[in-house]
Amino acid sequence: MKTLVKIICLLIFTLLCLPKASAATTGSFSYTGNTRSIVLDRTVSTEDGFTITSSVVDNVVSIQFEKLYDTGPEIWQISFADAYAASAPLTARQYTGVESIFFQEGVEYPIPGFQLSYKSPVVGYFSGVTTIVGYLDIVEISFSPSGSLESLDMNYFFEQFRPLDEYVSYTPQKIMQGSLFVNTNIPETSSTLLVLLGTCALFFTRKR
């Protein structure tokens, strides 16, 4: 009996030490806007065939949604960070006074930043959103031990804060809003492992 228990426990330990398969990344991005370059109401999701890639460089989080059509790719790129990002990783809270920033590696910005670019599968060019100020409401964000993005639940809202033409008077207006969700699924414990754990526990119980 003791030998059987030892074998089962050894097998469980071996299964726990095996490398886990990479989990699939799922998510969605919604955009409602009226800028000079991007005027549309759009939601993209992995459920609709979009793929997600993400990176974190100096605490600047960058996420890309992409889908290939016959006419070309549709690409949405979103980047955002706290002020002085290299020393201030993003956390779950609301960031106000966020402005449009074209992030450059190694450059520190004294304000929270956000940048959105879009590539049309028909027109084929990127349209960067500028001249905006607003807030990011990060409900949830987590990173792996290596620093890569694991999960994100965020809402955003921006207004135009200066006129596109300095000679034309204007009133600040809502220019874009939406949400961004990315979640790396955590692999579930296999049914085989659960059975082995239960069996091991049963043997230990009987032993007593």
More confidently predicted of 132 and 75 = 75
Give SS3 for 62.
Answer: strand
pLDDT at residue number 168: 46
3-state secondary structure of 54: strand
pLDDT at residue 200 above 70?
A: no
pLDDT 10s digits, 28-50: 999 887 655 555 788 999 999 99
pLDDT digits (tens, 9 = 90+) for 159-188: 865 544 444 444 555 578 899 999 854 344
Q: What share of the chain is helix, strand, coil (3-state, %, to 5)?
A: 20, 45, 35
CA distances from 130 to 55, 74, 100 (A): 22, 20, 5
Q: CA-based angle 61:62:65, to the nearest 5?
A: 140
pLDDT at 72 over 60: yes
User: What pTM does this model have?
Assistant: 0.71
Q: Is the pLDDT of residue 112 over 70?
A: yes
More confidently predicted of 31 and 24: 31
